[in-house]
Amino acid sequence: MRSSRRSTSCRKTVTTLVIAHRLSTVVGADEIIVLKGGEIAERGSHSDLLTQNGLYASMWNRQREATQAEEHLRQVRESDELGVVVRRPPAV
């Protein structure tokens, strides 16, 4: 425990710029800046931007739905190989 405290106290403040199309990459960022047409459209934390229900939230929801569809397709392919039927749970 002591060694981790020492390493933490020696850290410098660092700013890292991440350009990402997969939003899950930046979920933990202190601040996310959303650009549209080269201009700042929105900025804030992941939860702030979801609450605003704007461009970021729309992109997040589309990516989440695409990920769920990919997972379902993977399950169908696996079940097809095993001869098992996989059904999508009913929408809530």
The tens digit of pLDDT for each residue in 41-69 reads 999 999 999 999 999 999 999 999 988 88
* H or E element, residue 4: helix 2-9
Taking only Cα atoms into account, the Rg of the chain, rounded to an integer number of angstroms, comes to 20
The band of 1, judged by pLDDT with boundaries at 50, 70 and 90, is very low
pTM for this predicted structure = 0.64
pLDDT, averaged across the chain: 82
- CA distance to 21, 29, 39, 80, per residue, from 60 (Å): 10, 15, 19, 30
Record the tokens describing residue 30, joined without a space. 């202190």
